[in-house]
Amino acid sequence: MVHPVRYTLTPASPEAHLFHITCRVAAPDPAGQRFALPTWIPGSYLIREFARQVVSIQAQADGKPVALTKLDKHSWQAAPVKPGRALEVSYQVYAWDLSVRGAHLDRSHAYFNGPSIFLGVVGQEHLPCRVELAPPAGKAYQDWRVATAMRPAKGEKGAAKRWGFGLYEAADYDELLDHPVEMGHFDVVEFKACGTPHAVAVTGRHDGDLERLAKDLKPICESHIRLFAKTAPMDRYLFLVTVVGKGYGGLEHRASTSLLASRNDLPGTQTPTEGPLPDSYVNFLGLCSHEYFHSWNVKRIKPAAFIPYDLDREAHTHLLWAFEGFTSYYDDLGLLRSGRIDAKTYLKLLGKTAERVRQAPGRLKQSVADSSFDAWIKAYRPDENTPNAVVNYYTQGALIALGLDLELRRGSHGRKSLDQVMQVLWQRYGQSGTGVGEGDIFTAVAEVGGPTAARWLEKAVTTPGDVALEKPLKALGVKLQWQPLGDKPSLGVRTTVEGGDLKLATVFSGGPAERAGLAGGDVLVAWNGLRISPDGLDELLARHRAGDDIQLHYFRRDELQETHLVLAPPPAHRAELRLMEGLPESTGRLRRGWLGE
């Protein structure tokens, strides 16, 4: 069978980190077919210039070369070919990005996301695609397997079998890009959530207990499925996990997620079956929960700005606070609802989120709506001043989701919650494929909780500042108190050690260091005339108290400079949340409805 667009991909040179890809177009544009590689990947809002990794590219028809002209940074145009003749473009991509966003290839494995690999056939993006995945040549790779949520091209010659090489299919180019692929040696564990098959494929050296991982993921997935419907929105779901010595990250896809984790984050045979779980494992389960919730919130309930995706340029929206922030609220809530953690652990996690927001002065200068819109130029390009100028729409968005959930619950005596808002968004936008307009979430909130709740939300997302949580938390039987962040005085800085130097990573707005003229990048060398060791700052601070005058010597670039600063009291940035006792029955009922005690 001749397919309109067919790709062949081979990890041709693992030792050189080169994928070889061909794209065959059965009916190229008579005026000269254009091809383009995306400049960004959905879910990661930064122009990443994937075309910079294209090492070589050429075109042919009937075995004869066809001229290929580069039009701009990421697109090419082939010369016209005779009617009825297919056009084939062959190219190599350098793959050495060990992350969840790009492509990575060596002798141990191959991994890629579609936007970094597959050229789009301009004007034919709506057509079905076929992809033949081939293993590297050589005996060393004979036992490699394939892990992807992409569908095998059933009923066709060379169709892939599950976990195998061969022919796969996608309904169109957009779907093709949304199925990352792992090749190599990996461990697999499978389970069903609400009847839908799920699998976890783990690449990298580890001693994790994957049966235990599946046992914990199953109720988490089911918790999210039941929030929206009775069954999952995909036929099969795949967690692709790459474990390394130290790493953390995730990227959502329509039927899978790519995760990067530290190998010690996985559960071991000694992980307790009862009682508190290790913090590192809880964090990993939270990451899995976050990306899985995205199967609804951003992959199917989408901002209108993402329908369709324009992968040539930025797609601005003011709504990332809802799509990332609300997801960040539900990720740990999913652990609680599934019984993986208890209420006290959940409140501890909420406290950590609140602390991260509180420690960044940017929350007082930028709204989450503006932060969402500026993600392309700020959130994914942090520098030494980012904490002072930018609010994180993940963490602040999660606190806004918490505040909204509490407002809805107490305003309706427990009959309404953020769950109903998410269900409205799913039924109205997710199931229909209609994009969520910039004001549509406020409308949904008004329908569920009334105009007061909608006004509360609109103010929270468009106005810089702290989310007032103390009163609504107390109304549901939880007390929030802000405590000093330790017992040492403060310089008002965040430090890092680079090459044996104690370097200022950030100088916080309004703090002692800023008033003394210090800046990000300065290297501290002496404290009251004595050399500062890279790990000795905490010990020095412990010997002083707020109000002490300190003489500091530091290098700015290669120039030695001196200043004086007055130490400040430790900021009240530690959030303490605890369950209140002796509650009235009405308050206890509200709290049980939220925390499920």
In single-letter form, the type of residue at position 170 comes to: A
Contacts of 303 (CB under 8 A, 6+ apart): 315, 317, 319, 323, 435, 436
| Long-range contacts from 465-474, C-beta under 8 angstroms, 24+ separation | 465/363, 465/364, 466/357, 466/358, 466/363, 466/364, 467/396, 467/399, 467/400, 467/402, 467/403, 468/403, 469/354, 469/399, 469/402, 469/403, 469/406, 472/403, 472/406, 472/407, 472/410, 473/406, 473/577, 474/580
The per-residue pLDDT for 269 is 86
Alpha-carbon Rg of the chain, whole angstroms?
26
DSSP annotation of 512 reads H
Q: For the chain, which ranges sit under pLDDT 50?
A: none
Query: Which residues make beta-bridge pairs with 550?
Result: 565
DSSP per-residue letters across 535-582: T-HHHHHHT--TT-EEEEEEEETTEEEEEEEEPBPPPS-EEEEEE-SS
CA angle 64, 70, 73 (to 5 degrees): 145
Which three-class secondary structure state does DSSP give residue 191?
Answer: strand
The per-residue pLDDT for 187 is 98
Query: Which residues make beta-bridge pairs with 169?
Result: 130, 151
The per-residue pLDDT for 126 is 96
Which three-class secondary structure state does DSSP give residue 315?
Answer: coil
The per-residue pLDDT for 2 is 58
The per-residue pLDDT for 270 is 87
Residue 120: how many CA atoms within 13 Å on its side-chain side?
26
Q: What angle separates helix 343-358 from helix 279-293, to the nearest 10 degrees?
A: 80
What's the pTM value of the predicted model, to 2 decimals?
A: 0.96
Host H or E run for residue 148: strand 145-148
| Residue among 226, 410, 237 nearest 330 (CA) | 226
Tokens of 237: 């779901």
The per-residue pLDDT for 597 is 72
Return the number of other C-beta atoms located less than 10 Å from residue 54's C-beta.
19
Residue whose entry in the numeric block shows the structure tokens 């790519």:
258
